[in-house]
């Protein structure tokens, strides 16, 4: 496995890991405020299925440097993803976006097309439009609540991440992972640049509806039915409805961090989809 910074036109210090091999490539895009390391329970299952797996740290997260210009909007973040794909010359590639990472998957199709793509997957992902407003009453996050999160993160980073990771892995008030797993996630989150983490919260509110309208490749939507961070009804269900022919997998009692809490079920669904 290679573990190196990757030079791309937009983010010259983007950290990535590549299992290599002759298998079809899959790029795993992590959620907020974690890093590519958050996929550690999924990478072995995909490589065992004969796939080449690439993970990377979004700019300002994990081992990737913050944005030199302070930009963390989805056009910019997706340009980083496109740069990675082009730098590695990935073709017939599948993109899997978890939570915030689902925005990059959708915007990649919207901005860069499907020429290099085989399939895409949205895992507990924020599309089609998370912002709850008069124009989008079915959204899951009011702007005032997002701004409250930003203020809370700046005021007490440790306390905020402690509460956030608890909600991240809880369903109906019950923690669905071990305390060690929760603490491990909080440690990954603590690596993120504070400005990057705060600014990205605003990016969650972008509208991906027009991006989803351009999707024609096979699409998987996988979501926990008890997601307290990105509610299924506001996101996964609507994405499934907007992408014709998409496959929907709902994981019973699944929290937001369903790839960790329900690893076997999550991995089995992903492997089945990616190897079909």
Of 155, 198, 156, 237, whose CA–CA distance to 32 is shortest?
198
Asked if residues 171 and 228 have their Cβ atoms less than 8 Å apart, the reply is yes
Of 193, 256, 267, 214, whose CA–CA distance to 26 is shortest?
267
Kindly state the tokens that stand for 234.
Answer: 């506001």
What is the length of the chain?
A: 276
- CB-count burial class (<10 Å; 0-12, 13-18, 19+) for 175: middle
| 172 in catalytic set | no
Question: Exposure pattern of 2-14 as b/e (b: 16+ CB <10 Å)?
Answer: eeebbebebbeeb
| 73 in catalytic set | no
Long-range pairs, 261-268, Cβ under 8 A, ≥24: 261/169, 261/171, 261/176, 261/177, 261/224, 262/176, 262/224, 263/41, 263/42, 266/42, 266/123, 266/222, 267/41, 267/42, 267/45, 267/46, 268/45
SS3 category, 142? strand
| Options 227, 235, 261, 262, the catalytic residue | 227
- CB-count burial class (<10 Å; 0-12, 13-18, 19+) for 253: middle
| 87 in catalytic set | no
| Options 30, 240, 256, 262, the catalytic residue | 256
Kindly state the tokens that stand for 6.
Answer: 């990757």
| Options 64, 99, 203, 235, the catalytic residue | 99
Active site residues: 99, 227, 256
């Amino acid at each position: 496995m290679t573990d190196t910074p990757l030079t791309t036109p937009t983010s010259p210090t983007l950290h990535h890991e590549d299992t290599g091999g002759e298998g079809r490539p899959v790029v795993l895009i992590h959620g907020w405020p974690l890093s590519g390391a958050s996929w550690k329970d999924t990478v072995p299952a995909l490589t065992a299925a004969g796939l080449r797996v690439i993970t990377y740290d979004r700019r300002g997260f994990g081992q990737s440097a913050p944005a030199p210009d302070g930009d963390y909007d989805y056009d910019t973040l997706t340009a980083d993803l496109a740069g990675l794909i082009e730098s590695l010359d990935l073709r017939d590639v599948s993109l899997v976006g978890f939570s915030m990472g689902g925005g990059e998957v959708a915007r990649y199709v919207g901005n860069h097309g499907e020429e290099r793509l085989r399939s895409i997957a949205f895992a507990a992902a924020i599309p089609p439009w998370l912002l709850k407003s008069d124009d989008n009453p079915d959204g899951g996050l009011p702007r005032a609540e997002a701004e409250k999160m930003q203020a809370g993160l700046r005021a007490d980073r440790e306390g905020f991440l402690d509460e956030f990771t608890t909600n991240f892995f809880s369903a109906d008030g019950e923690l669905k992972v071990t305390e060690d797993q929760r603490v491990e996630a909080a440690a990954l989150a603590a690596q993120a640049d504070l400005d990057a983490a705060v600014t990205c919260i605003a990016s969650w509110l972008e509208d991906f509806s027009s991006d989803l309208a351009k999707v024609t490749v096979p699409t998987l939507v996988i979501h926990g039915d008890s997601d307290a961070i990105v509610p299924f009804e506001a996101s996964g269900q609507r994405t499934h409805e907007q992408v014709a022919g998409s496959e929907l997998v709902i994981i019973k009692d699944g929290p937001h961090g369903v790839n960790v809490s329900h690893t076997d079920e999550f991995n089995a669904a992903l492997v089945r989809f990616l190897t079909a």
